[in-house]
Structure 1
Amino acid sequence: MMDASEEWKSLWPVSSVHFPPLLLSPTRTPDAIKNIGPLIFIPSTELQTNYHLFASPSISPQIPPPFPNISFRRFLHTSSSVLPSTTTSISSDVSSSLINSDPILAPNSLQLMRCPGTDSTLVFFPTGPNSDQVGFVVLSVENSRLKVRGACSVTEALTSIDSLSHRIMKMSVSEVADCDCTSVDSTIGYLLVNTAYSVHYYNIRIRMKSSGRLVPRLELVGNKLFKSSAVVNACWSPQIREESLVLLDNGELFLFDLDFCSDPLISSPQVMGEKLDVSWGESVASENGEWLSCDFSWHTRILIVVHSTAVFLVELQSEKSNVTPLLKAGTDHLPNDKFIAFSIVAHDRFYFTLASKHMLFLCDLRKPMIPVIRWAHNVANPSNMIVYSLSDLRSQSDDDTYNWASDEGYGILLGTFWNNEFSLFCYGPDVRESSSSQVSGSSKSFCAWGLPSSLSMVTNECRCGSCIVKEEFCKDKLPNWINWQQKKEFVLGFGILDKEISSRLFKSDGFGGFTLVTLTSSGNIRLHRYCASWDSSQTSGKSHSNQCLDSEDSVLYETGEEEYKFRKVFEYFKFNWLDRYLNSDLARALSIELAKDIDNGRHKKASFGQDFHEIICQKLNTLGSLNIHDVFKDISLPTSIHEIALRSLWTNLPKEMLRLGFSPYSDLRNVNGKAMNTPFEFLEVPCEQSHLPPFLLRSPSSRSSKWSEKQQPSNSLVGPVIPIPFLMTLHKTRMLKADNVSADSEIDLKCDEVMKIANEADNENVLHSSQNPPQFASYKPVALSGKSLVDDKRMEDSDFEDTKHANLVFRVGQKDAEEVFGSHCLLKFKPDEETREFGPKEMKSYKLLKRQFSNFKEGFSSYQEYKKKSNIHK
């Protein structure tokens, strides 16, 4: 018999399966939804002139720009010369969790607190150049309008006296019960502010002037600095207003009480507290995750602590804390999911909500390990969650038909400020079990009331289909390295205005609604009104948006208010030749330039020093006339087809062109007029005569990016300083060879020729007449073939088939040779020139290297594959 209990019903997530048991939908239960009332909230058309409240550049935070909106693999491929197969391999090994701005914007940066017995509300937010100071303004109702009062200037907010030296991560308020604002000076609440490594406590005090005007101020009560661990979360106790709970990133818990503080008259008063003796066990320590949040439950000594992999109930009533798991991530349908957001249901604090990357859970601490309701949400990386009563969301209603549903129902607002993407999940009693008149206070079974609906925090945007499509097209137009959030203003924090104050601003309307106060990234505090509606397609009457994302940059990424204090020096390089080369117009540009030089009498033969002539000419004369077979003989290490082709082209360049490709450092110092600041770096030409141009595998000179008085350039010959495509094109232009064949095409033809000879070498054909001709093998390593060395599965397809760079040529040598550093080894054993003797000590080292290399060959799978393809049996 099928289990029809509530536990069984909760296994079917809402929005992920057809007709989940715990969903009241209009299609299956139209009467139930009709009795509940509208659950969709749209911007109101009533709000017009009272929309903008306050603006100040000081409350606009400045954070580091986000990472480019581009995959790591694509970033490597477009910003470097790394092969596509290599970028795929690297990106698959590197974690995709790159640094982003989500953690900085995760907490709600706005807190509201009503001044009891008045029509005024205090608004708290971070301010200052580093968002390290508490700012606040007063919202007051005057003549049915909301007025804002800050400091003397209309664009300056009231602030705390001292800055906190670190960026404010989170703020929370706690109201004092039964306080009287009519007294001369009274404390109406407390403000808790935490940075990354400290918590700070303030008294919120109000002074009433004779004119009836309220003057608020913040009084620092105490603070606590944590030197070894970071603060994850800090919250107030709902039962004892002076108590607070702090969770650190190492899992330690601290309980503080404002009644026990040091002398408030000292410059840095300390708040007293105790470290709770809580043992989490080895299961949490071994998990790959982090501590997420904490809060008080229904009792002042019963806590809920959240790790990204589990939720715990901590009971402090006995001498030793009792820890009970309430829910674990990574089970059921999503084994790799982890918790990323948490909120307590403040009504009775028995219920709490959890969000993972894909799921949303409503849980009851009295039923461990069994969520009450599950939703499958589509919010990207949600970081902010809060639970409201429907009576707060549907206040000021003309019709009292749905008052019972507003009193018994709840709305979970889940989303992220970074994407301005919020969804509202409504739930309440299962009205199918009893009539609406009997639901209140009797039903303990909860159901999801309809499917989740979206809620935009920015009401001045048109969200019709045409404008949404236009916005997506604007995102696609932006370059890959620009994130679209840099081009758009978004919300940093919000709070719902008190129902009584809202009723003095707006008349009762339809099914009711709520008033929202928001803080935006541009430093604006704005007012929004939302109304409950049956139809989400209703619009606010605003015209279609004409703005695109590229209109202006977000002020989040300004470098600060101070001007740049140092002298600005700019150096410009001419890249006109590179531009001509990229546009396949280099030959024509060189012809025009040479014609100008001849007409102006500036065409002179380049002069080079005697040292240059001796070094280059001696090398080439010793080697004689080289063909591609001679280049093959110079190969010792694995060499790509493209590299062999370039060596052949370099070797056969005329000497006057080759001289342009190499130069002493002394000549390069005068490339531009600022010799000491020229950050050119080239490789020195080696002294050995066995190498061929362009002289690969060399060490750079030991210097910094600029020459100095202590570090001067040497007189060594360096290069190449000019790319070979330019030299090839210049040679053809001087020789008046108008064959319209570009240098890149000639390089490709040379690569084809090398490929043909490499294939012959792979068949062990003799490359050149000799008594002991070298043998070669053409080989494509596994790393360049698009296969994984671990599981031999196909990786992501490369953007193109690269045969010139992926095919390597190896020297095979004689198969019957026994010298480990002579035959099948890719290295050569070459004693130092200063070594005169090869005695017993050197022989011992030699044998040790031989044994180590033999063990390496046996355990290296790529080398064994190379031997197999090359028909090597030793």
Structure 2
Amino acid sequence: MEFSEEWKSWFPIGAGGSTVPLLLHSNPSKLGPLFFNPKPNSITQIISSLSLIPSLHLPPHLLPSRFLVSSNPSSILPSTASSISQRFSQNDTVSYFIHNRIQTLNYPNGSNVVLFFPTGDNDDQVGFVMVSVMGSKLRVVVDENGDVFRALVGGGGGGGGSSSSHRILRILINPVPDFGDECNVLAYLFVTTLYSVHWFVVRHDSILDRPSVVCLGGKVFKTCSIVNACWSPHVLEETLVLLQSGELFLFDLESNSFKGTRLRIAWGDDSDENKVWVSCEFSWHPRVLIVVRSDAVFLVDLRLDECSVSCLMRIEMFRMYAPERNEQFLALSRAGPDDFYFAVASTSLLVLLDVRKPLVPVLQWVHGIDGPYYMTALSLSMLRSHSKEDSFKFASDTGFCIILGSFWNCEFNLFCYGSTLPVQNGSSASMLSKIETSFYAWELPSEINLSSHECSCGSCLLREELSKDVLPEWVDWQLKKEMVLGFGILSSNFASLLCEADEHGGFTLIRLMSSGKLELQRYHSSWTPVRYLDNCHEEELSLDRYALYPMSTEQYKFPRRFHYLKFDYLHSYASGDLMQFLTKKLKNTSVDVQDKEPVATEMHEFLSEKLNACGLGRSRSCPASSAVFKEVKLPESFHEIALRRLWADLPMELLQLAFLKYSECREVVVDQHKVALEFLAVPDLPQLPPFFLRKPSRHNNNDIVGPVIPLPVLLAVNEFRNECSDSEKGEFSIEAELSLKYKEVMQVADEIAVSAHDSMQLDDHAVSLAEDGEEAWVGSSKVKAFPSYRPVAFNCSTTDLFEEKSVYTDKVYDTFIFHVAEKFSDQTESVGEEMFDDLCPVELRFNAPVKKFTPQGLKTYNLLKKQMSNWQEKMDSYKEFCIQSRSQKVVKK
């Protein structure tokens, strides 16, 4: 089947399949060599300084995600942690390595180049050095201390001193074409941080014979962060800034005003929190802009009074060839041959666009790069300059290339394209090339090794993977190897002063390494890629030679002391053999638990009073599960109720071991001093553990604290005391005991719900414990209703189920019950805290002294209650809670 050129553009190069895309091969060819390899023995170190190493303030090594993992099936802990661990596993370190950290400025004479980069304690200063060529040798111009020059953000230049505390994320240069005026202005510099932008002017100091950089001013955005910014290619002093909210600001340095003009653009009503703004650029006109969002590419026309916004491309158009489900646009760049062409990179694809042909790609490639946030487009003549022969000069002049890659993942690919070439070079061919509108990919994408230190042979790749496996899982291997943090391609005039011409041409690269070195490397064009590097193959690979972690010039002055704690009980419990471990320990103990002296009578009375208040004082041998429900006031899961059931089963002797006076807590030796262990005080409210919201206040010696012994240990000790056969054989399982109690509690709740429904005609989720026969409430003749509900956070959407990202759905953990507050009557003259019971379905409990309200206070309360009722009626989440729990809200307006 024969496809038109426009239809062929919809098939990405490198996607496979039987369809032939817009691809030209170079053998036989008029294109010339399109692979670029590092030239052996061409590395020259320019400078090595600590000022070139990024000042990273990385998060702790042990991130929360290390502790939020799925618990194994034998564990009693809820596995909902696995559903939120991914929220903590996002690596913010990648954001430090999205942008190119080095920018180059070529002098008009071609013999000098200035290198700009962030520096300072927080990367908050503009650092720069000048490199010149004298007699085919490099000369580096630095300050009088042998360090890099610094320009302060906010004022001053060339010296030290304090600077802004904001980290510099991007540096953009706009060279002045008519250098040589009386001001000696070389370029304008544009610096962006997370919330601010700053402008600099770069001049040549004829007295010191070096550049000087002075800050002109800046703008701070207090309410929204900066996404991207760019210089205008049409107006020298204009810059464009894109905010995270989608707002665009235009600044003009000629007006000496740094307030900027906010561009009034209506993006429509399809805003979504999952759609983020990516980048912006000027198009073929000073008031025609390209703005990229994660889901679309927009053309913004500001030439008329009313702004016009049209869509150039949508991400849905590439779903067919995008293997990623969450495909989105990531980067934007201007591309050749003129200002009508742009390149946009998504998660899987690289697309060449023409603003005159919306919704139709010019070319597409499958790039195969993980996180391609960096992209730049060049003329092919820049990469094949300074050649010995000109047989491919016409192809170099008419061809273009795009460098796409990721500094974090240390991979970059080269994408070459252009029009079809005529058989003969001549005036007619030149005219045809201008008329030709179809573009073809020249060869498949090729990898370019910017570091020139990485051999791609099988042995080196295997050794690198093995070295990664040796590192702890919380350490990023990228931070343990030498990375390329930025690079710049020098002009052909500067490169010709340093090296001889290559056969088919090449380019000279200056790169910034994570080890703090600026290196110069020569690349030459070749017909085939080189994967084997002789100078790197034999090197011993070690990922611990370089470490991009915060470095301190001060040594630690204090003595290092380490204290070791023995967690043999915790280790045994995590391994699933706590019962066997305790059995062995108790058998080897000379004093039996039953032979210990009884605890003070005061503690016995305290615990008895607590149990009686919870309705468990009549029979301590085998309390009923329904009795534990009496204490349920606030929403609690079946997991918590089952734990309370287990606490209620424990005999008084073991409870007295778990709760002590603060003065009776054991002391441990720390730094040759005895220090009492810290435990939380038992609350005054009548309740069983696990206690809810205890205040971590200071204790006095008479406070009752606990539990000082975990429940699993007490269960195992209780089983040992009873001398069960299961414990002797090692068959007793704490997890199995908990599972049994879970089922018992859930069964009782279901039976009570049925009984309540039959006798009271309540809804399906109401639970009444008044009809429970022998286990009737003690001292209460009123019905206690217990609705159940499942929080909205546990509700999985269709997308979550499709992507298998649903949270833990065990009824034991995600089903909650609570006690419904009784209706309140305000006919009395003075009332207490019960008046709050009709504000919400949950019965409120106050850990405060009882107070009575006067009629005037009650009047104020009714007014506030009316306002709260109006707020509840408008709150969707509250109404959903009431509907799901099937509890009626009792509010009097």
TM-score, with normalisation over the residues of structure 2? Answer: 0.74
Tell me the equivalent position of 1:615.
Answer: 606
Tell me the equivalent position of 1:376.
Answer: 366
- Cα displacement (A) at 1:110: 0.7
Distance, in Å, in 1 between the alignment partners of 2:800 and 2:228 is 45
Distance, in Å, in 1 between the alignment partners of 2:125 and 2:359 is 41
Task: Confirm whether residue 312 of structure 1 aligns to residue 310 of structure 2.
Answer: no
Task: Confirm whether residue 721 of structure 1 aligns to residue 708 of structure 2.
Answer: yes
Task: Confirm whether residue 745 of structure 1 aligns to residue 733 of structure 2.
Answer: yes
Distance, in Å, in 1 between the alignment partners of 2:348 and 2:187 is 37
In the alignment, residue 630 of structure 1 is paired with which amino acid? Answer: A
- Cα displacement (A) at 1:409: 0.5
With 98-107 and 76-85 compared, the bigger mean Cα shift is at: 76-85
Distance, in Å, in 1 between the alignment partners of 2:880 and 2:336 is 66
Distance, in Å, in 1 between the alignment partners of 2:794 and 2:233 is 59
- Cα displacement (A) at 1:284: 7.8
- The answer to whether the Cα contact below 8 Å between 2:351 and 2:365 also exists between their aligned partners in 1 is yes
What are structure 1's unaligned runs of at least 5 residues? 210-214, 261-270, 813-821, 866-874
Task: Confirm whether residue 425 of structure 1 aligns to residue 411 of structure 2.
Answer: no
- Cα displacement (A) at 1:499: 1.8
Task: Confirm whether residue 578 of structure 1 aligns to residue 570 of structure 2.
Answer: yes
- Cα displacement (A) at 1:531: 2.4
Tell me the equivalent position of 2:249.
Answer: 253
In the alignment, residue 416 of structure 1 is paired with which amino acid? Answer: S
1:111-510 residue pairs with structure 2 within 5 A?
111-117=103-109, 119-154=111-146, 156-157=148-149, 160-161=158-159, 164-165=163-164, 166-177=166-177, 179=179, 186-195=184-193, 196-207=195-206, 215-220=209-214, 222-228=216-222, 230-238=225-233, 241=236, 243-249=237-243, 251-258=247-254, 271-272=256-257, 275-276=260-261, 278-283=263-268, 286=271, 289=275, 291-298=277-284, 301-308=286-293, 309-314=296-301, 316=303, 320=305, 323=308, 325=310, 327-334=312-319, 338-345=328-335, 348-431=338-421, 439-443=429-433, 444-445=436-437, 446-510=439-503
1:544-563 residue pairs with structure 2 within 5 A?
544=537, 550-552=543-545, 554-555=547-548, 557-558=549-550, 560-561=552-553
Distance, in Å, in 1 between the alignment partners of 2:271 and 2:680 is 50
- The answer to whether the Cα contact below 8 Å between 1:786 and 1:796 also exists between their aligned partners in 2 is no
Distance, in Å, in 2 between the alignment partners of 1:458 and 1:659 is 67
Which among 694, 697, 700 is matched to residue 700 of structure 1?
Answer: 694
* Secondary structure, aligned partner of 1:611: helix
With 76-85 and 763-772 compared, the bigger mean Cα shift is at: 763-772
* Secondary structure, aligned partner of 1:139: strand
Tell me the equivalent position of 1:264.
Answer: none
- Cα displacement (A) at 1:415: 1.6
Tell me the equivalent position of 2:796.
Answer: 788
With 347-356 and 768-777 compared, the bigger mean Cα shift is at: 768-777
Tell me the equivalent position of 1:37.
Answer: 32
In the alignment, residue 748 of structure 1 is paired with which amino acid? Answer: A
Tell me the equivalent position of 1:818.
Answer: none
With 127-136 and 502-511 compared, the bigger mean Cα shift is at: 502-511
- Cα displacement (A) at 1:146: 3.1
Task: Confirm whether residue 523 of structure 1 aligns to residue 516 of structure 2.
Answer: yes
Closer, same or farther: CA 121–756 of 1 in aligned 2, 3 Å: closer
Tell me the equivalent position of 2:825.
Answer: none
- Cα displacement (A) at 1:127: 1.1
- The answer to whether the Cα contact below 8 Å between 2:486 and 2:512 also exists between their aligned partners in 1 is yes
In the alignment, residue 664 of structure 1 is paired with which amino acid? Answer: K
Closer, same or farther: CA 99–321 of 1 in aligned 2, 3 Å: farther
Closer, same or farther: CA 758–420 of 1 in aligned 2, 3 Å: closer
- The answer to whether the Cα contact below 8 Å between 1:779 and 1:809 also exists between their aligned partners in 2 is yes
Closer, same or farther: CA 281–861 of 1 in aligned 2, 3 Å: closer
- Cα displacement (A) at 1:456: 2.7
* Secondary structure, aligned partner of 1:535: coil
Tell me the equivalent position of 2:759.
Answer: none
- Cα displacement (A) at 1:36: 0.8
> Could you give the per-residue CA deviations for residues 127-179 of structure 1, whole angstroms, max 9, x where no partner exists?
11111212122223345443433234445556533664022222233334464
Distance, in Å, in 1 between the alignment partners of 2:566 and 2:431 is 79
- Cα displacement (A) at 1:700: 0.3
Distance, in Å, in 2 between the alignment partners of 1:475 and 1:352 is 38
- Cα displacement (A) at 1:554: 2.3
Which among 662, 682, 685 is matched to residue 680 of structure 2?
Answer: 682
Tell me the equivalent position of 1:635.
Answer: 629
With 343-352 and 120-129 compared, the bigger mean Cα shift is at: 343-352
Closer, same or farther: CA 659–273 of 1 in aligned 2, 3 Å: closer
In the alignment, residue 216 of structure 2 is paired with which amino acid? Answer: G
- The answer to whether the Cα contact below 8 Å between 1:683 and 1:699 also exists between their aligned partners in 2 is no
- The answer to whether the Cα contact below 8 Å between 1:408 and 1:440 also exists between their aligned partners in 2 is no
In the alignment, residue 119 of structure 1 is paired with which amino acid? Answer: S
Distance, in Å, in 1 between the alignment partners of 2:703 and 2:806 is 41
Tell me the equivalent position of 1:83.
Answer: 78
- The answer to whether the Cα contact below 8 Å between 2:329 and 2:344 also exists between their aligned partners in 1 is yes
Distance, in Å, in 1 between the alignment partners of 2:185 and 2:799 is 66
- The answer to whether the Cα contact below 8 Å between 1:351 and 1:365 also exists between their aligned partners in 2 is yes
- The answer to whether the Cα contact below 8 Å between 2:68 and 2:85 also exists between their aligned partners in 1 is no
TM-score, with normalisation over the residues of structure 1? Answer: 0.76
* Secondary structure, aligned partner of 1:657: helix
- The answer to whether the Cα contact below 8 Å between 1:484 and 1:549 also exists between their aligned partners in 2 is no
Distance, in Å, in 1 between the alignment partners of 2:573 and 2:709 is 13
Closer, same or farther: CA 607–554 of 1 in aligned 2, 3 Å: farther
> Could you give the per-residue CA deviations for residues 430-472 of structure 1, whole angstroms, max 9, x where no partner exists?
23x7656555452233111122122232211222234334434
Closer, same or farther: CA 645–147 of 1 in aligned 2, 3 Å: same
- The answer to whether the Cα contact below 8 Å between 2:643 and 2:690 also exists between their aligned partners in 1 is no
Closer, same or farther: CA 527–777 of 1 in aligned 2, 3 Å: farther
Distance, in Å, in 2 between the alignment partners of 1:651 and 1:78 is 26
Closer, same or farther: CA 453–606 of 1 in aligned 2, 3 Å: farther
In the alignment, residue 187 of structure 2 is paired with which amino acid? Answer: G
The share of aligned pairs that are identical, in percent, is 30
Distance, in Å, in 2 between the alignment partners of 1:700 and 1:82 is 21
Closer, same or farther: CA 10–612 of 1 in aligned 2, 3 Å: same
* Secondary structure, aligned partner of 2:519: strand
In the alignment, residue 402 of structure 2 is paired with which amino acid? Answer: I
* Secondary structure, aligned partner of 1:332: helix
- Cα displacement (A) at 1:517: 0.9
Tell me the equivalent position of 2:657.
Answer: 660
Closer, same or farther: CA 788–735 of 1 in aligned 2, 3 Å: closer
In the alignment, residue 247 of structure 2 is paired with which amino acid? Answer: G
With 517-526 and 344-353 compared, the bigger mean Cα shift is at: 344-353
- Cα displacement (A) at 1:393: 0.9
Tell me the equivalent position of 1:9.
Answer: 8
- Cα displacement (A) at 1:779: 13
In the alignment, residue 307 of structure 1 is paired with which amino acid? Answer: V
